[in-house]
Structure 1
Amino acid sequence: MEDFDVFTNEINYSKQFYISILNKFVNDVPSTPSGPNYQSGKKLLAEEFLAANKETECAFHLSEAVSATLRTMAVYRDDQIKALGNKLHKITSFIKPVNHLIDNNPLSKEEEKLLHFLSKDTADISRTLQALDLSDQEPFHKRYLKFSSENNVDNFQRILKDLPKEWTVIQLTAPYNPNENLKPFDEYRIEINSLSLTMMTNGYLETTDMGPLTVNIPANVTKEGEKPLFTELFSLLDENYKTIDNAQFLNNKRLVQNYWSRREDIDLRMKSVINVMDKEWLGGWGSLLTGKLVDTSLRDRIIQLVDTTISDWGFIRLTTKQRILLYNLIESSPVLSSHQIKSCIRRILTEHGNTDDIRQVLNTNSCQDCTKEFTFANELCLKCLSKCFEAVHHFTLVDGIKAFSQAATLVKDNDEWAGLKKAKRHPVILIVDEMLDTFPWETLPIINHHPVSRIENIHFLYYLYKLHEKDIVDGYLVSKADVGRYIINPEKNLDRMEKRMSSFVQYWCQGWSGHIGEPPPPADFLKYLTEADIFLYCGHGDGCHFANGGANGAGVEGAVGTRSVVVLSGCGSVRLVHAAGRSPPAAAHHHLHIAGSPMVVGMLWEVTDLEVDKMVSTLMSLYVPSDAAVPWPSVGKARWSQGVLDTEVEQKGQFTPERDLLRAISRARGSTNYVMIASSMVARGLPVRIL
């Protein structure tokens, strides 16, 4: 072997060698790997497979690259429950692999003699082992949570096919960043310059033989003089926290006026963040976040329109991926600007075609910035991409953009397509990378009226689905609202909130029971989670600390078989909180999902009680059936903060309830005038509705 200088930086490893190292690291990790390290390795592998046009493998590795530590928590909790119910569980779990080795490697006569010599009571030991049940009864949805050979591409595809056909499952993933190992979280979290958007299931994917697909979207790109979007978001959240935290010290008119001025400024900044996410960040790619159309005939008309455009203009070299992207874009054109549409068409035509075709026709002699050794087509300049497009398709990129822009304009402006903008859609489930979770995705204009939920990863989506499968109909968990439990102001320091929310539940949810103005015993907290159809918590934070001390010290995870829809109205009740270093983030909904709760509704950041009370009471009044004489929107609330409701009023228009929880959340956001408050409320879990 040739010697080389270990101090040089000129050693060039082949791509295959690099992939082998990644595979060795990711596939040979122990059964409970370090979550952050495991995720980093998976993100790097996903990039390699995307560059090789292996879309399904890329999607699989990205699915493994989010919330890995939560899987370890779930496996550990399940193991502890088994050990609690069966004292021999740990012994049999160790015997099982040993027994497998013995069966596959029979002992020689010499070894049998030695074993007999060493074991005085071999007959008794054999009888004991034979009496133990060593069969593996663990269902697949639990096995897939673990880190084993069962986490593979084939099983990933099996899961996607097994999920309800109504769901659109989208994953948003931040790229690998080596600075995660070097910098504090507050610093490296603002360095994201792109994100991967993976369509795992989609209305147009199912019309082709193509599996999941991924697009890479530039992110955090700003104009000169502007703050990067990540910096601005976390800056305004910090300002929001300080403003609300200092509100208790306001003791004169000038300070109060300054408080409201700062609140308005924060609200405007959040509007700006959402606008930049929509217009300058996602743009036309927002079309990939939309849910499947309930009316499939509309989908079929879109397919026919795009396919006709392709055949009329002669786009014979468009890939299946490009077609699917165009289907989604043209379908969403009524809610997109012309600039968003044209920019996205250009990227679809130039950056998502066959890279082998591009390499064959690429001529970089007149370009100093581009090289044939590119990994992704978006590394090439627009001039080179335009020339490549013309060489492959035999007409200009301008003509290509014009062709599909005309199709988009037809859908956007023609009366025949007028119903598309308000067409009903099936649920969207977003799997959001921990690094991107703080952004208010649900309030993007393109999906703010769609039923949208978040989930930690595909593993937990499948886990919760299989737990509640028998109650899922047409993509929704069919729930009830017969049994309701609540805990209101347990720390006894939110008097006006207590009067508002207690008067609401006593008026609208008369059959419910709970604790008001006092901390509940841990046993009661856990009992509420297991027996209630809906559990409402109104207080500081998420309230889950009140479960500590009950059910063998397991906290809310001790509520075995939780079936409640949980609503947590406190500040940051479903916010991911990072500890120091590279510790994985944690949140209340993690523990509630591990316990089996199908849905948790809560707040992403600090909120004020009056505005949240408006949102939560509106949500509950829309979702929960009631015998109340007057609909909640018509009830007089001039003295609501004193706990007084005026029901001697005329009804204000027609009240239309909403038994689809995700749609009810969308409508409830409109009950506050503050975007900062409205965008804080998110749903995490399975789509739920009351029949």
Structure 2
Amino acid sequence: MEDFDVFTNEINYTKQFCLNILNKYVNDAPPTPNGPNYQCGHKLLAEECLASGKEAECAFHLSESVSASLRTMAVYRDEQIKAANNKLLKITSFIKPVQDIIDGNPVSKHEEKLFPFLSRDTTDITKLFSHLDTADVAPFHKRYLRFSLENNVENLQKILRELPKEWSIVQLTAPYNPNENLKPQIEYKIEINSLYLTMYSNEYLDRTDFGPMTVNIPANFTKEGEKPLFTELYSLLEDNYKTIDNAQFLNNKRLVQNYWSRREDIDLRMKSVINVMDKDWLGGFGSLLTGKLIDSDLTEKIVRLVDNAISDWGFVKLNKKQKVLLYNLIGSCSTMTSHQIKSCIRRILTEHGNTHEIRQVLQVSDCPTCSKDFRFSNELCLKCLSKCFEAIHHFTLVDGIKAFSQVATQIKENDEWACLKKAKRHPVVLIVDEALDTFPWETLPIINHHPVSRMENIHFTYYLYKMHETRIQDGYFTARAEVGRYVINPEKNLDRMERRMNSFVRYWCDKWEGHVGTAPDPAKFLTYLTDADVFLYCGHGDGCHFANGGANGAGVEGATGARAIAILSGCGSVRLQATPARCPPAAAHHHLHVAGSPMVVGMLWEVTDLEVDKMVSTLVSLCVPSQAPLPWPQVGKQAWNQGVLDTEVESKGPVIDERDLLRAMCRARGSTSYVMIASSMVARGLPVRILDK
């Protein structure tokens, strides 16, 4: 302790003292720590590293701060499997730590004399266990899931270099909130005022020796008369649930009209949420969510354009972080408004400069709100930041904004750059903090046509990648769809959905096998996950409860070596289910990923079966090869509710297939007119491309 005042009975801790406690807490974490506590500790350390300009260390701590409990689940399941195959595992697991202690602490000659008194059978015991292999042979991708000294900055960077170069890996993290320890979840989950956006891999970041890098973005601020964004989203989802749940009680025309009116109102509110996320929340920093351009020549042209502006205007003080941010902004400016671009340029030039230089030139004598003791530049007012910029660069902030706005205008208005807006991009792996997972990130205008897949953390991204490495080409898990399995309406209470999806499967995937109107037994459900290329579930929820009772009670995790791409069309099938107190949320895709499934497609919240049937059937028809006579969009569906398809229609020309599952999802979302339904569908796992026969 430091500076204990016996008269006031107070203890004043220095900043370094608090940091030492925090480092000890994080670094001395037990082998299976409490997930939420472990995550909070790393979030606090990440903030300290970011304030000190330690970008790589900040990124590492943020990587450790998401979905920690899922890692514990995977480690536990792996231990179960090893113990089932090796009855002596528990014995050998105790031998190695003891042997390490003995090897690290040599016994003196005097102490050796004590051994005969301790045991007369040590020789026989040594011989008995000499044949046991106590070496830790677990591969690195499994060891990195564990909580050990191997989780460090150097190994994180090693993993990032090993992952496919095509991927852009981005993480969205909510900051530490002390109220998690004091308030119910329903209260503290709406108290997020900013988020950290971390780029682990990015086409402009990869060109430099700088990175990973993190920016702090204000969030959840409100305009007068509006609800905070988190409050509005959760209120919207609650209203959506009640509306859909009460639909079964509609028994007259007035109630039916009221139902459709509420559905339209909910849809408009979701559009508003997405608009606020895009315009007022992320703004120009949404450019950091985009994937790498497939056309590398376009990337080179963007870099040259920005570099020329920097040299022409004399920006000799811009650091590497500012340059990377500008490259990303200019590379995506064709889909942004002028206000978004200018606001983002201002923040890049003022808030992400060298804080040491800002402190040197900062004059706060006339400013009642700013202090030289600031931690982050965005704590300063715009007036002080503008003065600091002018003192450092020797021209005004207005001129700085003008310089790069002209570059953006050139791209937006010049026909030479028209191709940039529709240019194809490589996949984005989006790691989303559990507190931010409910938001429909994939439907933001800047990435709603990009291939985007969510992952729990960098650990599981690497784990699944190494598990399926031999099948990954050009950044995609290469799958086939020759073996398909399905479970449709197993609870026998969605008759129209059963008729629709059964008729679709028989028409488009006539070689697939499955259950319709009945539930498979647990063993059969597990074989569907291990034997099939694609597994389709159409029913309530995620369907994984049908695996309970199989494989020694392990549920879907008993499907060791699962290879199926799982498409789960039920309500909230890939939603993180909130749990009491501070327990970590649970989800079906967690268990499927532990079992090895490379991809899970599902819904974030409650949906209606007809609109989901449209999306799922469109998705499957785009990415699964078929011998059907007509493309699915051209098939007559006037009597689809009765399970009748009209193929006696005139062909309207070819429909372009899309074997990239993530791109097919972008197109499939367009098959419903409801934004609430379209934005619910997300992919979790490795980017997938389905091969033609």
Bin for the TM-score computed over the shorter chain: over 0.9
Equivalent positions of 1:182-201 (< 5 A) are 182-201=182-201
CA gap 1:209/1:535 in 2 versus in 1, 3 angstroms = same
Distance in 2 (CA, whole Å) between partners of 1:162 and 1:328 is: 23
Q: Any idea what SS the aligned residue of 2:130 has?
A: helix
Distance in 1 (CA, whole Å) between partners of 2:347 and 2:592 is: 41
Distance in 2 (CA, whole Å) between partners of 1:271 and 1:57 is: 37
CA gap 1:639/1:181 in 2 versus in 1, 3 angstroms = same
Aligned match of 1:519: 519
Aligned match of 2:320: 320
User: CA offsets, 1:298-317, max 9 Å, x none?
Assistant: 11111101010000000000
Q: TM-score, normalised by structure 1?
A: 0.99
Aligned match of 2:550: 550
Distance in 2 (CA, whole Å) between partners of 1:504 and 1:680 is: 22
The structural deviation recorded for 1:487 is 0.5
Equivalent positions of 1:268-417 (< 5 A) are 268-417=268-417
Aligned match of 1:661: 661
Q: Any idea what SS the aligned residue of 1:491 has?
A: coil
Distance in 1 (CA, whole Å) between partners of 2:345 and 2:388 is: 16
Answer yes or no: is the 8 Å Cα contact 1:523–1:551 preserved in 2: yes
Aligned match of 1:643: 643
Distance in 1 (CA, whole Å) between partners of 2:335 and 2:653 is: 28
Distance in 2 (CA, whole Å) between partners of 1:104 and 1:274 is: 58
Q: Any idea what SS the aligned residue of 1:537 has?
A: strand
User: CA offsets, 1:637-668, max 9 Å, x none?
Assistant: 11111111111111233211100000001110
The structural deviation recorded for 1:25 is 1.0
Which AA in structure 2 matches 1:437? D
> Is 1:69 paired with 2:69?
yes
> Is 1:460 paired with 2:460?
yes
Distance in 2 (CA, whole Å) between partners of 1:630 and 1:206 is: 44
CA gap 1:588/1:333 in 2 versus in 1, 3 angstroms = same
Which AA in structure 1 matches 2:76? Y
Aligned match of 1:259: 259
Aligned match of 2:422: 422
Distance in 2 (CA, whole Å) between partners of 1:109 and 1:216 is: 60
CA gap 1:616/1:53 in 2 versus in 1, 3 angstroms = same
Unaligned runs of 5+ in 2: none
The structural deviation recorded for 1:151 is 0.4
Aligned match of 2:181: 181
Answer yes or no: is the 8 Å Cα contact 1:633–1:652 preserved in 2: no
CA gap 1:8/1:332 in 2 versus in 1, 3 angstroms = farther
Distance in 1 (CA, whole Å) between partners of 2:12 and 2:356 is: 23
Unaligned runs of 5+ in 1: none
Aligned match of 1:441: 441
Q: Any idea what SS the aligned residue of 2:368 has?
A: coil
Aligned match of 1:242: 242
> Is 1:98 paired with 2:115?
no
User: CA offsets, 1:406-434, max 9 Å, x none?
Assistant: 00000111011111001110000100000
Q: Any idea what SS the aligned residue of 1:131 has?
A: coil
The structural deviation recorded for 1:19 is 1.4
Q: CA RMSD in A?
A: 1.1
> Is 1:124 paired with 2:124?
yes
> Is 1:478 paired with 2:484?
no
The structural deviation recorded for 1:616 is 0.3
Distance in 1 (CA, whole Å) between partners of 2:481 and 2:163 is: 25
Which AA in structure 2 matches 1:53? G
Which AA in structure 2 matches 1:206? D
Aligned match of 1:139: 139
Aligned match of 1:610: 610
Equivalent positions of 1:52-91 (< 5 A) are 52-91=52-91
Answer yes or no: is the 8 Å Cα contact 2:3–2:12 preserved in 1: no
Distance in 1 (CA, whole Å) between partners of 2:463 and 2:107 is: 40
CA gap 1:2/1:56 in 2 versus in 1, 3 angstroms = closer
* Segment drifting more, 131-140 vs 312-321: 131-140
Answer yes or no: is the 8 Å Cα contact 1:170–1:431 preserved in 2: yes
Distance in 2 (CA, whole Å) between partners of 1:349 and 1:293 is: 25
Answer yes or no: is the 8 Å Cα contact 2:4–2:12 preserved in 1: no
Q: Any idea what SS the aligned residue of 1:148 has?
A: coil
User: CA offsets, 1:497-530, max 9 Å, x none?
Assistant: 1111111111100110011101110000000000
Q: Any idea what SS the aligned residue of 1:435 has?
A: helix
* Segment drifting more, 646-655 vs 431-440: 646-655
Q: Any idea what SS the aligned residue of 1:332 has?
A: helix
Aligned match of 1:685: 685
CA gap 1:40/1:2 in 2 versus in 1, 3 angstroms = closer
Aligned match of 1:531: 531
Distance in 2 (CA, whole Å) between partners of 1:598 and 1:519 is: 24
User: CA offsets, 1:442-492, max 9 Å, x none?
Assistant: 000000000000000000000000000111111001111110000011111
User: CA offsets, 1:100-145, max 9 Å, x none?
Assistant: 2222323334544433343343232111211101122100000000
Q: Any idea what SS the aligned residue of 2:114 has?
A: helix
Q: Any idea what SS the aligned residue of 1:582 has?
A: coil
CA gap 1:267/1:25 in 2 versus in 1, 3 angstroms = same
Answer yes or no: is the 8 Å Cα contact 1:542–1:588 preserved in 2: yes
Q: Any idea what SS the aligned residue of 2:5 has?
A: coil
Distance in 2 (CA, whole Å) between partners of 1:104 and 1:12 is: 39
Which AA in structure 2 matches 1:441? W
Which AA in structure 2 matches 1:311? S
Q: TM-score, normalised by structure 2?
A: 0.98
Distance in 1 (CA, whole Å) between partners of 2:258 and 2:151 is: 55
Equivalent positions of 1:134-173 (< 5 A) are 134-173=134-173
Q: Any idea what SS the aligned residue of 2:170 has?
A: strand
Q: How many percent of aligned residue pairs carry the same amino acid?
A: 75
